[in-house]
Amino acid sequence: MTKLQPVRGTQDLIGEDQRRHAHVVATARRIAALYGCAEWSTPIFEATAVFSRNLGETSDVVTKEMYTFDDRGGDSITLRPEGTAGVCRALVSNGLTQTLPQKIFYTGPMFRYERPQKGRYRQFHQIGLEIIGAAEPLADAEAIACGWQILRELGITESVTLNINTLGDRESRDAYRTALVDYLSRYEADLSADSRVRLVKNPLRILDSKDAGDIRLLADAPMIYQHLNATSAAFYEGLKTTLTRLGLDFIENPRIVRGFDYYNHTAFEFVSTGLGAQGTVLGGGRYDGLVEQMGGPSTPGIGWGAGVERLAMLLAATPAVERMVAIIPLSEGEQGVAIDLLNRLRGAAIAADLAYRGNLKRRLDRANKINANHAVLIGADELARGAITLKSLDDGSQREVAIADLISALR
């Protein structure tokens, strides 16, 4: 019989892996709530148009990486490759464009068919934040600050640097695109094959090229800040001033781009050296045209996403397992009382467990395996006095405690 294994690019989250994953999500959820975010959960699959509109019909994600299929009704369905599109669709579908701004936190699995590598899977998990309906640079600064605080609470900011850029408004972006195409067209023959295609379809994406030849050509390319109009320049200055007031250090990086027209103004990345090669662990930007593409009214938005697997790998230590109390009856005659005490402790929010079988030695061995900090030993003599023996599994000390006082003694 063939031994079944996880599908390539997927993993089982068990033990330390699960505890790291859960810690990242719980930390992000707690910090996002401090910023006034409500948590939304959108479907794992959507109509394919939700993502093809958001990511562009010719993008690598749409053409090569999306898990797309026709369901039994003949509708084209896609497993979500990212979270922002579903959130914007939900905003429109649920009629929430009249109650803005909305601050949203989300978490869950995403799916992309790409080459599995360290920290990257075909089923991966993201945390994300969106602030929809706020056009001010303060919203951008708040989104960035929330991301920074999550990273700080996870203890990974020492290896992380905040990079920011501006894409300007539509007018500034169009002027910059024209200047960039004029410059790169002179060197079209020297561009990589991918960049020659992008020169026609999406020239700003060339700025993100990893090809060594492209990088050399870009060294003398025009910069976006040279083409900002007064409105865009003021927005960018407002962002930088607010970030400084919030105590966030940043590097201005003109190579951070977003390829589609609904992106504008702010683009940012938190870049880490903690995974070996430099890599982005959290990134996002402003997308004032996306809700409109989803069929809603013109609505500003700013957001970011981060891979849980990558963040979990950067944690300095695995969160400890919660300590438990082991309930141990010394004979079958005390089993009923053991069940009663187990129920009482759990009802008082004290983690407790009861081994199903075994003598005292085997039950104590199990108590150590589950990292219990105390054992409640239930014997006939103690029960006759309305008491139990409470044993510390850390130092071996033990004392008799009245059953009525057990919960307070454990606390």
Handedness of CA 51, 52, 53, 58 (dihedral sign): positive
130 known member of a binding site: yes
236 known member of a binding site: no
Give domain limits for the chain: 16-169+229-314, 324-410
Q: What's the whole-model pTM score?
A: 0.89
262 known member of a binding site: yes
In the prediction, which pLDDT does 61 show?
A: 66
Q: Which two tokens stand for residue 359?
A: 């003598």
In the prediction, which pLDDT does 277 show?
A: 62
Backbone φ/ψ region at 132: left (φ over 0), alpha (ψ -120 to 50), beta? beta
Those residues with Cβ within 8 angstroms of residue 328's Cβ, 6 or more apart along the chain or in another chain: 338, 354, 355, 360, 363, 364, 367, 375, 376, 377, 378
83 known member of a binding site: yes
In the prediction, which pLDDT does 276 show?
A: 66
Residue pointed to by tokens 């589609």? 260
In the prediction, which pLDDT does 355 show?
A: 86
In the prediction, which pLDDT does 261 show?
A: 67
82 known member of a binding site: yes
356 known member of a binding site: no
CATH no. for 324-410: 3.40.50.800
Handedness of CA 225, 227, 232, 233 (dihedral sign): positive
Instruction: State how far the Cα of 222 lies from the Cα of 219, in Å rounded to an integer.
Output: 9
161 known member of a binding site: no
Q: What is the 3-state secondary structure (H, E, C) of the chain?
A: CCCCCCCCCCCCCCCHHHHHHHHHHHHHHHHHHHCCCEECCCCCEEEHHHHHHHHCCCCHHHHHHCCEEECCCCCEEEECCCCHHHHHHHHHHCCHHHCCCEEEEEEEEEECCCCCECCECCEEEEEEEEEECCCCHHHHHHHHHHHHHHHHHCCCHHHEEEEEEECCCHHHHHHHHHHHHHHHHCCHHHCCHHHHHHHHHCHHHHHHCCCHHHHHHHCCCCCHHHHCCHHHHHHHHHHHHHHHHCCCCCEECCCCCCCCCCCEEEEEEEEECCCCCCEEEEEEEECCCHHHHCCCCCCCEEEEEEEHHHHHHHCCCCCCCCCEEEEEECCHHHHHHHHHHHHHHHHCCCCEEECCCCCHHHHHHHHHHCCEEEEEEECHHHHHCCEEEEEECCCCCEEEEEHHHHHHHHC
Going residue by residue through the chain, which has 411 residues, state the pLDDT in tens, using 9 for 90 and above. 788 999 999 999 999 999 999 999 999 999 999 999 999 999 999 999 998 876 655 456 665 789 999 999 999 999 999 999 999 999 999 999 999 999 999 999 999 998 887 778 999 999 999 999 999 999 999 999 999 999 999 999 988 999 999 999 999 989 999 999 999 999 888 899 989 988 888 888 888 888 899 999 899 899 998 999 999 999 999 999 999 999 999 999 988 887 666 789 999 999 998 776 668 999 999 999 899 988 999 999 999 999 999 999 999 999 988 899 999 999 888 999 999 999 999 999 999 999 888 888 898 889 888 889 999 999 999 898 999 999 999 999 999 999 999 999 988
Q: Which two tokens stand for residue 322?
A: 């919660």
Q: CB count, 10 Å around CB of 141?
A: 22
Superfamily of segment(s) 16-169+229-314: Bira Bifunctional Protein; Domain 2 (3.30.930.10)
